[in-house]
């Protein structure tokens, strides 16, 4: 396994180290675990396409691109509302 140096602001490093320590992990182990759980844009797109195909097969639901944008906007609006509370 090779190591890599990553330059980030000191505050970000300290925050990540504190989160890692709270979970009983070193910063290195925490970042490795985090990297394993995050999806790349291509992986997210693949999962989204599989979900669309499953919905269409299950109940015939196949939103248009415009409907998807509208639904994304509505979700963003609702999440912003919750975040403002």
Please give the C-alpha separations between residue 71 and each of 12, 19, 63, 64, 79, in angstroms, as whole numbers: 33, 33, 10, 11, 12
Q: How do residues 73-82 score in pLDDT, each as one tens digit? A: 999 999 999 9
Mean pLDDT of all residues in 56-71 = 93
Q: What is the pLDDT of residues 45-61, one digit of tens each?
A: 999 999 999 999 999 99
Sign of CA dihedral 22, 27, 32, 34: positive
Query: Average pLDDT, stretch 10-22?
Result: 97
As a dihedral over the C-alpha atoms of residue 25, residue 29, residue 33, residue 39, rounded to 10 degrees, the angle is: 130
Share of the chain above pLDDT 70, in %: 100
The residue ranges of DSSP E strands in the chain, in sequence order, are none
Q: What is the pLDDT of residue 46?
A: 97
Cα(13)–Cα(1) distance, rounded to whole angstroms? 22
């Amino acid at each position: 396994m090779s190591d890599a140096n990553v330059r980030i602001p000191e505050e970000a490093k300290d925050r990540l180290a504190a989160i890692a320590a709270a979970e009983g992990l070193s910063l290195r182990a925490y970042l490795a675990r985090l990297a394993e759980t995050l999806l790349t844009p291509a992986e997210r797109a693949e999962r989204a396409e599989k979900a669309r195909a499953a919905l269409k097969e299950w109940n015939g639901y196949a939103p248009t691109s415009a409907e998807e944008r509208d639904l994304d906007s509505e979700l963003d609006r609702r999440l912003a509302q919750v975040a403002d509370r």
